[in-house]
Every structure is written in structure tokens, then in C-alpha cells.
Chains A and B, each alone.
Chain A
Amino acid sequence: MADDTVTIAVASPFTGPAAAYGDNIKAGVSMKVAEINEAGGINGKQVEVEWMDEKCDPREAATVAPKIAQNKDIVGVVGHLCSSAHLAALPTYTRAGVPAISPTATNVTISEKNTDRRGRVWGFRNVYRDDFQGQFLANYVKDVLGLEKIAVFHENNDYGIGLKDAFMGEAEKIDLDIVGVEAYIKGAQDFTPQLTKLKNENPDGLFIAGYYGEGALIASQANMLGLDVVKFGADGLDNADYINLADTAANNTYMTVPFLAAAAGPQAQEFIKEFEKEQGRSLDWMSANAYDAAGLLLQAVAEVGEDREEIRDYLISIDSPEEAYEGVTGKTYFNEQGDSQKSAYVKMVKDEEFVPAPKQMN
């Protein structure tokens, strides 16, 4: 078995409340793997994927990680999707020496927890960090959108809290007024009490630090209560379903994304078309990042073979724009903490469609 295949693991939520996000990852990785296999595989070996479901739950992730570590056929991991799950799995990966590339986990603390005792990085990510996103957003809404009074909604997990903290820290520095902060848990459906409370403060901007499922509900319920404000958030909002679910209430929402189809290069445009044909929906950044994360991991295998340690060494050696991996999301290379240096783009919803924001801030 192991002799004629290369096996990678993909750890993400495939069931549970976050299953829809896991599907984005699955779509991206599947397309990369199919592409490689059709071209003859890696050194003549076909690539196989072990899909590991962790429900975006830290406990499940901590159970899945040892399974991956013990299966010696697995050369590395694409995942995890959620920051909380990624943080829970990292101790196992660093102890057992499993290279992991998260396409989506943006939490700040990951940068410190991804090294083993000798200080070698095992956890990589080809996405920016929340502190960058949060600070970026604070500056963007103040300078570009001219907002003054912001109400904050955040999901009560590592992603939402990290984003909120970075945003509020920066807001204080640049004199952006925060008029209320509300938290919610994943899967919550009713936000009317919190929105009613925030409405009394007359905000002109609503920051949604969470994912699109709940974000769409917040937007549409704000609309229902007559709270007509500019909505904005980070990459968690970026999915066609945000518009499907919130409908006209989605209009006037701004979001930072690591990947903007309209701003992508010619190689990416081809992939975007291919993706639309195969998946029947427009490309989201999660799938694009997952496609590149799998590509990066498999390029490492192609270069140095199936030894986990050598794959790690190879990945950390990609440390400058000259050596960067050229994927659909642009150039990916890592700093000494395993974090990639990516800029943020701003998208907005206009007439129930995603369009690039008229003004970028790069």
C-alpha cells in the first residue's frame, strides 16, 4: 500500500456545525490531488488523502492528531481549519514530528505553539494572522470608510476573540469609538436581543468577528430591527452563502480576504474557472488556500521524498519571495515562525454580489 501511494491527511470539520467550511477545504484539496494524480502522481506514486473529521472541536482535534501521528504512511497534514482545533492538535504534531500546513487558522498564539523542544517549527500556515487582519480592518473602516462608532459582535472562540482584541487595541490607538461588545457561541441563531441593545447606541458600523453562517443572521436581523449600518468583518464572512442567507441585508458588507479572485494572476484565473465548473459555485478563499496548502505539501514530497523531517526542513527553507511557492493565492513563503507573509484585500457586497472594494489599502 504505502509503497505505491503518497498519503496526506486533511484534518477539518466534515460533520458538525462547521461542516460547511470543511467542505470548502475538501473541494480545494481534492482538486489539487486530482490534478497531480492525473499528471502521473509524484515520482510515479498516486496521492491518497485521509479525511480526518474533527468537527472544528478542540477535543476531537486532539483525538484525531495522534491517529495521524501514528500512521506512518501519512507524510503530513493539511489542516486544521479552525484555530481552536489547530491549537489543540499542535502539541501532538510538534512532539511526534508531523509537518502541518493550515490553510485557514489565523489565531495569533499559533505562532508560539508550533515548535518542538528544539525550537523547530512543525506547524505552518499560508494565511495571515488575526492581529494583522484586526488592525488592518480598524484602519480601513476609519480611513477609507470614515466610520466613527462601532458595535462589535464576536464569536466566543480563539478566532473571534483574537480578531476582536486586535481590532479593539488598534481602535483605541486611532480613536475609533467602540460603543458595545457582544459575544455569541457557534450555532447561535437569534441575535435580536443583542442587536436591540446595540441599536440604542446608534453605531454607524457593525464589526462581525466570526464566520458567515452566524454573520448572515446578524446582518439580516440587524436589517429587520432597522439597524441600517455598514457591516464589516474578516475572512470568516467570505462565502457565497453569506449572501444567499442574508440576501439584501448582505449589501454594504466589507471584508478582508487573503485572496481576491479579481486581483489574482492568469494562472489563478484558469483555476477559478475550473473550480466553478467542477464545484458549481464561485471560488472561496478557503478552497483557494487549501488548494495551495496541499500543493505546497506535495511539492515538498516531490522534492525531498516522504520523510516527515525532511519535508519540514524543506518547508522552513522556503523563506524568501525568490524561493516562494507560486500558487493561485500568490507567492507563499514562511518566516522563522512558520507564518506566511500575505497581504489583505478588501471585498464588499453590492447588489447581492461580491465585488472588490473600490478602494484597497495596500
Chain B
Amino acid sequence: MLEQQLINGLTLGVIYAMIAVGYTMVYGVIELINFAHGEIFMLGAFFCMTFITVFGVPFYLAIFLAMCCCAVCGVLLDIIAYRPLRNSPRLAALITAIGMSIFLQNLALMIWGSRPRPFPKDALPEFFSQTALTFGDVKLTWLQLFIFAVTIAMMVGLNLIITKTKAGTAMRALAQNKQAAALMGINVNRIISFTFILGSSMGAVAGVLVSVFYNTMYPMMGYTAGVKAFAAAVLGGIGSVPGAMIGGVILGVAEALGAGYVSSLYRDGVAYAIMIAVILFRPSGILGRLVGDKA
């Protein structure tokens, strides 16, 4: 049973990790807790579904198009809601983020209606639902392998972008000191937009994977996912990309084990208890640096 629980937890964990990365990047660069990130995740699922059902686009292309749409949404979100408040107190931006989250939820409710929708299954590759590996009692489906593969590929790609490209270097410079980066000739707004593009497109993929895995999507699905991803980002050390990945996986596994061995009602409790413990004993998170470094 333990092996099955670990697989359950890992599947959940890598998805949390993908959403958490988006959170943490935005925080790293502009120190804003982007509460609307969960809604970008939700929009990813709905865009993908719409491309498939309305325009008849094949599955893999639909994911790519959903990523593009969410990237645009992320950039617009920044331009409309966050950029005007860039130099205001941080609380103002935080409240705006919550406002945008509620706005996007209700927008989705108006466009797609409130009923939970299944993912258009006919568009999915045939082999997804088949069992890929079995060890004893434990089953792993191709879909789960696909989720792991996509997540790992995206994480590796993201790390390459951050460490090896010019824009990535600029992002890291911005995270260290915005003013100094600007003085070095970095176009701050453009790099922030770039951050939103990366984070939002990963959020979109996570949204698609979740709705395929559970075969359900609804306009409010971003809320819980967002809160969990936020917890994962804090756990890993907010602002740290590898931290968010580790945090997501730990959170997913802890939840599965908590629900499996303690009580299913405490599954969220277990997750948050871990988060609180980390904040108490290691406020910077597992891989984070203290915010004080930045001043």
C-alpha cells in the first residue's frame, strides 16, 4: 500500500510543483504573491478544452495554444493590475491580486458556466488510460508517466532558460536588485512580462494535466490548487524555483500519506502543519534565502 500511496502523492506533488513554480518566480522578481495564479491554471484547462471542442484542434497542439493564451493572460494581468501599483505599498498589490482572482473566477463562470465539465476524452491519445507498469498490487498508468515526463521536461527547460539565457540572467538580476538591474540597462517591465509568460504557461500545462487526470474542470478549481501551490512555494522557500519543485513534491506526498495513514479529513491539515513547522523552524523555507538579503 505504501508504494501506491507514494505514487498517488508524487502525481499530485509534481502538479503542485508546476503551479508553485509560477508563484515563486513572480515573487522572486517583484515580491508579489500572485493570488490570481490559480486562476491562470484554471484558464489553462478551459482554453485547452475549448480549442479541442470548438475548433477541433488535436490534443498536443491544444496544450501549446492554451500555454500561449495563458501567457498572454499573465502578461495582461501584470500590465492591467500590477504594473500601475509597482511602487505602491505591497499590501495594495496583494489586495489587487485577490481581486483579480475573484474577477477571473467569475469571468470563467460567465463564459463556460458553472457545471463541472469532463475533459474531451476523444481527443486524448488512446494509450493514456492503459496501465504502463505493474509491480504486485501497484498500478501506474501511461497518463501518470506522461504527467511525470512533461513535468520533468518543463522543469529542466525552465532551469535552462533561467540559468543559460540572457533573459534568465536578467530575471535573476532583477530578483536581486531591481534598481541596480535597471541601471545596468535591463528593461525591467519587459523582464517582468517574461517572468509572467514563463510562470503562466507552466500553470496552463498544470491545469490541463489536472483536468485530464481527474477528468473534470470547473471555474473554481484554481482556488484550492492555488492555495496548495502557495503552501508548496513557502515550504520550498518562496522565491526559489528548485525550492518550489521540492516543496510541491513533499506536499503532495505528505498529503497522500496523511490521508492514507492518519485520516482523510486531515489531509489538508497535514500539508499545512508541515508548512507551519517549516516557517517556525526554518522561516526561509527549505531552499530559500532570507528576504533580508535583498535589502
Contacts and interface: CB of A to CB of B under 8 A. Distances in A.
Interface of A: 14-17, 19-20, 22-23, 156, 182-185, 187-190, 192-194, 196-197, 200, 213, 216-217, 220-221, 224-226, 241, 244-247
B248 to A, nearest CB: 14
Contact of B218 (A20, A22, A188, A224): A20
B190 interface: no
B1 A200 contact: yes
Interface string B56-80: 0000000000000000000000000
Contacts of A221: 214
Interface stretch (B89-97, B195-203, B230-238, B257-265): B257-265
A213 B264 contact: no
Given A20-B116, A216-B216, A190 B12 contact: yes
A156 B265 contact: yes
A197 B260 contact: yes
Interface in B23-63: none
Contacts of B117: 244
A196 B1 contact: yes
B214 A189 contact: yes
11 contacts: A19-B219, A19-B220, A182-B264, A190-B12, A192-B4, A193-B256, A193-B260, A217-B214, A217-B216, A221-B214, A225-B139
Contacts of A224: 139, 141
Interface residues of B, number: 41
Contacts of B114: 14-15, 19-20, 22-23
Contact of A197 (B1, B106, B265): B1
B224 A187 contact: yes
Interface string B248-277: 000000011111110111011000000000
Contact of A192 (B121, B215, B223, B256): B256
Nearest to A184: B264
B207 interface: no
A345 B181 CA distance: 70
B115 interface: yes
Interface centre among B8, B9, B11, B114 (most CB of A within 10 A): B114
B110 to A, nearest CB: 10
Given A184-B264, A213-B218, A225-B4, A244 B109 contact: no
B215 A245 contact: yes
A247 B121 contact: yes
A15 B106 contact: yes
Nearest to A197: B260
B139 A226 contact: yes
B210 interface: yes
B216 A192 contact: no
Nearest to B12: A190
Nearest to B3: A196
Contacts of B125: none
A192 B256 CA distance: 8
Contacts of A22: 114
Contacts of B258: 193
B5 interface: yes
B265 A184 contact: yes
A14 B109 CA distance: 10
Interface centre among A183, A193, A196 (most CB of B within 10 A): A193
A15 B105 CA distance: 9
Contacts of B224: 187-189
B214 A247 contact: no
Contacts of A192: 4, 8, 11, 256
Given A183-B265, A200-B1, A241-B116, A194 B259 contact: yes
B118 interface: yes
Nearest to A181: B264
A194 B115 contact: no
Interface string B91-135: 000000000000001100100011111100100000000000000
A197 B4 CA distance: 10
A247 B122 CA distance: 12
Given A20-B218, A189-B216, A196 B260 contact: yes
A221 B144 CA distance: 13
